Structure 1
Amino acid sequence: MILEARGITHYYKNDLALDNVNFTAQKGEFIAIVGESGGGKSTLLSILSSLLRPTLGELFFEGKAYTQITNIDAFRQKDIGFIFQFHYLISYLTVLENIKLASLNPHDGYVETLLKQCGIEAIQNKYPDEISGGQRQRAAIVRALVNHPKVLFADEPTGNLDSHNSQNIYELFKTLSKGGTTIIIATHDRKVSEYADTLIEVNDGKIL
């Protein structure tokens, strides 16, 4: 087990967002958290990825409590990757420069390998406003993968993409999970069920 959450409860002021949620993820598992907007799926993803601290509950990464991680920034940079619905690429840097900026070892050959794997090698020297939405999202995925994360989190990663590009992203996630990377995504797109190993539905702060 690579990731475990026990009794996660979270409030935004007086509003209950998550209610006593338990969650586990195995190495190489592709998990999709689905549900309607406002149901709690993005909150759960933010908590699992350490971006948000829960009101109540415990989180463990490879058996170690999140509260025992002494350098959370190093943990986020090395052990996890995060993809947002919006790519957040820096406009005045090329695709390659954006990716290498995030890399702990920008001069190794892994960046080039990922560019090929994600099908964006040909546009690596272009700027974000010179490429398509699907290409920008793939660049964001390469950036999230560049430090060999053990878990890749993605919040509505296909929200701004058409069906063809969405399918390509899901197929890429499936390939990554088969290679041993744990994939956890939050999405309202139920077509993900064709690719994910596990589907978890969150509604009104509870796992159904």
Structure 2
Amino acid sequence: MKRMRCTKSNCLLLLLPLVFILSACSPSIRVNTEPAAGFQLSNYKTFAFYEVDASGEGLGNAYEPQVQYLQQEIAGQLENKGLTRATSDTDLLINLGIVVNEEVQTRQTDLRSDPPNYIGQRRYTWRSREVEVGRYKEGTVSVHLVDNDRNELVWQGNAEAILKSKEVKLREQIARGVEEMFREIPQ
């Protein structure tokens, strides 16, 4: 049996499918940010949370601890960038929008190719329909940074993902999403 030598090109070809498989296993967080013209975070020294607007049928009754954890993560990111959390007379106000919807995953029962020529002797009908195969929650977080003196939106970021059902995994997902969002903020 001849051994294959691992060169740069053939090792890359062997590892490429593994990378695709692993990336397919980890759910993605879609992040979108948009700064106002001329916005620099370094122009601000203090921040405070102003308003939380939460909605959606998938939110549930026990969402408050997750909102508090989200605020902790955002505060941590801003403090790492040199801002200080204040209770009054603050430079930046943070508005949070949270929407959690419960979605239904379905598949359609249809004949994708040509229908069969012989169905059987009994008279029965068959029709295409949607069959529920699972339920999941999809969440969106919107973060708006507002200049308190001018009452003007200076930066906004959104993060969307299919939410983890276990609390520990959900918190990891929140932390990763906030980190990705604030990675793109202009310093």
Relative to the length of structure 2, the TM-score reads 0.22
Higher relative helix content: 1
Higher relative contact order (CA 8 A, sep 6+): 1
Higher relative strand content: 2
Q: Which has the larger radius of gyration?
A: 2
